[in-house]
Amino acid sequence: MTQPNTDAPLAGRHIAVLLGGPSSEREVSLVSGRECADALERLGARVTRVDPGKDVAQVLTRVAPDLVFNALHGEWGEDGCVQGVLETLKLPYTHSGVLASALAMDKAKAKAVLAAAGVTVPGGGLFSRHDVARDHVMQPPYVVKPNAEGSSVGVFIVLEGANRPPVELSAPTWTYGEEVMVEPYVRGLELAVAVLGESNGPRALAVTDIRSSTGFYDYDAKYSEGGSIHVLPAPIPDSVRDRAMRMAELGHTALGCQGVTRSDFRYDDINDLLVLLEVNTQPGMTPTSLAPEQADHVGISFDQLVLWIVEDAYARCSAGGIA
Catalogue the active-site residues: 25, 151, 223, 262, 264, 278, 280, 284
**Cα atoms in the 13 Å half-sphere on the side-chain side of 260:** 26
Q: Pairing mode, if any, of strands 14-18 and 46-50?
A: parallel
Task: Count Cβ atoms within 10 A of the Cβ of residue 274 and give its class: 0-12 exposed, 13-18 middle, 19 or more buried.
Answer: buried
The single-letter DSSP state of residue 22 is S
Between CA 45 and CA 50 the distance in angstroms is 15
Nearest in space to 259 (alpha carbons), one of 50, 70, 64, 107: 70
The single-letter code of the amino acid at 85 is V
Residue 220's contacts (CB-CB under 8 Å, 6 or more residues apart) are 214, 227
User: What's the CA gap between 144 and 271, in Å, rounded?
Assistant: 23
The DSSP bridge partners found for residue 124 are none
Angle at 232 (CA atoms; ends 227, 236), nearest 5 degrees: 110
Burial class (CB in 10 A: 0-12, 13-18, 19+), 128: middle
Helices assigned H by DSSP within 43-125: 56-63, 81-88, 98-105, 107-116
Residue 320 burial (C-beta neighbours within 10 Å; 0-12, 13-18, 19+): exposed
